[in-house]
Chains A and B, each alone.
Chain A
Amino acid sequence: MAYSEKVIRHYQNPQNVGTLDKSKSNVGTGLVGAPECGDVMRLQIEVDDATGVITDAKFKTFGCGSAIASSSIATEWLKGKTVDQAITIDNMTIVEELHLPPVKIHCSVLAEDAIKAAVNDYRQKNGLEEIKFEESVVH
């Protein structure tokens, strides 16, 4: 299968690989996927409590090139957005940006789920109610 140039670029030079201190109250962590499915994504955000703006985002992903690229681009988009803006990131935007073929759409869904999970973790840590998201499309 041929990968798009953008997927290759992110795979070869992934942005924001790393780990944030999950014990800090202003860091939200989302861990989605499962080893048996061949995809595990961990996405973290660091939020400025005063403004609600995401000041840093990091990821680590076990998965194919498209999964790595999806998480890489997600962290790029998260930085500078507010927490509320973050949850509006749609998986189809990632699909379009990376030109993912149909068999790889689940990678983008995973990235969207990881963002939501990270935001909810942050909210929960800060005494806010977790947002109930609709079940995402079948992976």
Chain B
Amino acid sequence: MVQLPIYLDHNATTPCDPRVVEAMVPYFTNSFGNAASRNHPFGWQAEGAVDNAREQVAQLIGADAKEIIFTSGATEADNLAIKGVFEMYKSKGNHIITCNIEHKAVLDTCKHIEKEGGEVTYLKVNDDGIINLDELEAAIKPTTILIAIMYANNEIGTVMPMKEISAIAKKNGVLVFTDATQAVGKISVDVNKDGIDLLAFTAHKMYGPKGVGALYVRRKNPRVKVTAQIDGGGHERGMRSGTLNVPGIVGFGKACEICKNELEQDAVRIVKLRDKLENSLLGLEEAYLNGHKQNRLPHVSNISFKFVEGEGLLMGFNKDIALSSGSACTSASLEPSYVLKALGLGDDLAHSSLRFGLGRFTTEEQIDYTIEAVSKTVLKLREMSPLWEMFKEGIDMNSIEWAHH
């Protein structure tokens, strides 16, 4: 018997790998020192542990340890990158280019930049969730200082063409920042091969602890600087003050080391499970894949089940299976996912979507259970859906005058 509940929401967060927890434990008790205490063994020990972790974190993305700034997570790293570049490069310009399916941590930071006198261009994406490179190049102006495009999207898993994006940026002398929260640890990310100047990521999306993340800031070709957003004791070479979260950082380092060693074999195994799930569910009538089928993270599948509402669908099994929906029925705005809408999906399909996020510990048994439970609920709710009945009778739903709220 499969053990319930099943966790298939790994884009939201991941469990800590037991090896990560094991590495962290001593730093809560015996080795509790402050990494900034320079004059006693407790401090030295903590500093050594942080140095080691910094090396592990850097290696996963092909960076130098000196280029890693530890933060409280990806949201803080996104803020530091965008606000930090905006303030540091003010004399050069005030224009930032991003896209409309970024995470709110980037979009809301850009909104803040606009209030501060910055100018932001929000590129549209095509129906697979990828930006148009010609539009990107055309959007660059003399005042452009930063291109901020996510490495991979959190809802649909689509991976952006980072190498091409950074080539365009380099040609025009513009810095590239990428929110790689969903990508690092899942697919191979290399800041040099990809030509990235700043990169944000976090531990808890790759089997590390919550509350710790990092910003990579390039030190050579070009040397990039950001203005600190948190002032204090001058930690992290003055770019991020605050006592270092030593156990968290140690766990982050260990998580990165494991990902570096196991990422490829994990991806092969997870893709198989993901494809099994996806192919089975797409076998249902009127089920559609959202996002790019190939250029995609190995563990994500976002599917719309037309004529069934996502939250209603989740309710059929959410005691047993943890999933997310693009339906925003729980929110006061009743607006469905802005990411799915940006792909050009009608609101009806956006309301009907489920996001499956598989992980390192997902088993075939769990996938089989999920296929069965989701299929059964879709069929049951369609029997209850007036839209399904109309569809089956061949009624054109656009011909109906709906009462819009």
Chain A contact residues, CB within 8 Å of chain B:
1, 3, 8, 11, 14, 17, 19, 31-42, 60-65, 67-68, 103, 106, 113, 138-139
Contact of A64 among B307, B311, B400 (CB under 8 A): B311
Chain B residue at smallest Cβ distance from A71: B384
B309 touches A36 (CB 8 A): no
A63 close to B312 (CB less than 8 A): yes
On whether the beta carbons of B389 and A34 are closer than 8 Å, the reply is: no
Minimal Cβ-Cβ distance residue in A for B331: A103
- Shortest CB–CB separation between residue B336 and chain A, in angstroms? 7
Q: What residues of chain A lie closer than 8 Å to B332, measured between beta carbons? A: 103
Q: Report which residue of B308, B330, B403 has the largest number of chain A beta carbons within 10 angstroms of its beta carbon.
A: B403
CB of B404 within 8 A of CB of A36, answer yes
Inter-chain CA distance A27–B202, complex, in Å, is 59
Q: How far is the CA of A106 from the CA of B332 in the complex (A)?
A: 10
Counting chain A CB atoms within 10 Å of each CB, which of B307, B386, B388 scores highest?
A: B386
A61, B347: Cβ atoms under 8 Å?
no
Once bound together, how far apart are the Cα atoms of A114 and B100, in whole Å? Answer: 37
User: In this assembly, does B119 line the interface, its C-beta being within 8 Å of a C-beta of chain A?
Assistant: no
Q: Give the complex CA separation of A35 and B398 in angstroms.
A: 10
- Given A65-B315, A139-B405 in contact, is the A38-B331 Cβ separation under 8 Å? no
For residue B65, CB closer than 8 A to chain A, the reply is: no
Give the dominant DSSP class at A's interface: mixed
Interchain residue pairs with CB less than 8 A apart (25) = A1-B330, A8-B315, A11-B312, A11-B315, A31-B400, A33-B403, A35-B387, A35-B397, A35-B402, A38-B311, A38-B334, A38-B336, A60-B384, A60-B385, A61-B384, A61-B385, A62-B309, A63-B329, A64-B315, A64-B327, A64-B329, A67-B309, A67-B312, A68-B312, A103-B332
Determine if B351 and A14 form an interchain contact, defined as CB atoms under 8 angstroms apart: no
Question: A34-B403, A36-B404, A106-B405 known; A64 and B386 CB under 8 Å?
Answer: no
Contact status A37-B331, CB under 8 Å: no
What A residues does B310 contact at CB under 8 A? Answer: 38
Measured between beta carbons, the chain B residues less than 8 angstroms from A139 are 405
- B389 near A60 with CB under 8 A, answer yes
Known: A36-B346, A63-B312, A65-B311. A103 touches B330 (CB 8 A): yes
Give the one of A14, A39, A63 with max B CB within 10 A: A63
A78 vs chain B, min Cβ distance (A): 17
Complex interface: chain A residues within 8 A of B405 (CB): 33-34, 37, 106, 138-139
Q: When chains A and B are docked, how far (Å) is the Cα of A37 from the Cα of B403?
A: 10
A interface footprint on B367-405 (CB within 8 Å = 1, 0 otherwise) = 000000000000000011111110000000100101111
A-B contact count (CB 8 A): 94
What is the chain B residue whose CB lies nearest that of A65? B315
Q: Is the CB of B308 within 8 A of A62?
A: yes
Whether B348 lies near A35 (C-beta < 8 A) is yes
Contact A17/B383 with A37-B334, A37-B405, A65-B311 known, Cβ cut-off 8 Å? yes
> CA separation between A1 and B334, bound complex, in Å?
15
Q: Specify which of B309, B347, B403 is in contact with A63 (CB 8 Å cutoff).
A: B309
A32 to B193, CA, bound (A): 55
B residues within 8 A CB of A113?
Answer: 403
What are the residues of chain B within 8 A of A37 when measuring CB–CB? 334, 347, 404-405
Q: Which residues of B contact A106 (CB under 8 A)?
A: 334, 405
Q: Do residues B327 and A38 form an inter-chain contact, with CB atoms below 8 A?
A: yes
Per the bound structure, the CA–CA distance linking A8 and B405 in Å amounts to: 26
Chain B's closest residue to A110 (CB) is B405
Q: Are A38 and B329 in contact (CB under 8 A)?
A: yes
Q: Which 3 A-B pairs have the closest CB atoms?
A: A34-B402, A36-B347, A139-B405
Q: CA separation between A35 and B348, bound complex, in Å?
A: 5
Residues of A within 8 A of B397 (CB): 35
The answer to whether B312 and A33 have CB atoms under 8 Å apart is no
B354 to chain A, nearest CB (A): 14
Q: Which residues of B contact A68 (CB under 8 A)?
A: 312, 384
Closest A residue to B346 using CB positions: A36
A77 to chain B, nearest CB (A): 18
Q: Is the CB of B347 within 8 A of A62?
A: no
- Asked whether, in the complex, the Cβ of B386 is within 8 Å of the Cβ of A36, the reply is no
Chain B positions within 8 Å of A67 at CB level: 309, 312
Chain A residues closer than 8 Å to B331, beta-carbon distance: 103
Interchain nearest-CB distance for A30 vs B (Å): 10
A19 and B389 within 8 A (CB): yes
Known interface pairs A19-B389, A40-B387, A103-B332. Does A65 touch B347 (Cβ–Cβ under 8 Å)?
no
Q: A17-B384, A38-B334 are in contact. Are A3 and B315 (CB under 8 A)?
A: yes
8 Å CB contact of A39 from B309, B330, B346: B309
Bound CA span A62–B351, Å:
10
Of the residues B309, B383, B385, B386, contact of A38 by C-beta under 8 Å: B309
Question: In the complex, which residues of chain A have a beta carbon less than 8 angstroms from the beta carbon of B400?
Answer: 31
CA–CA, A102 and B14, complex, Å: 31
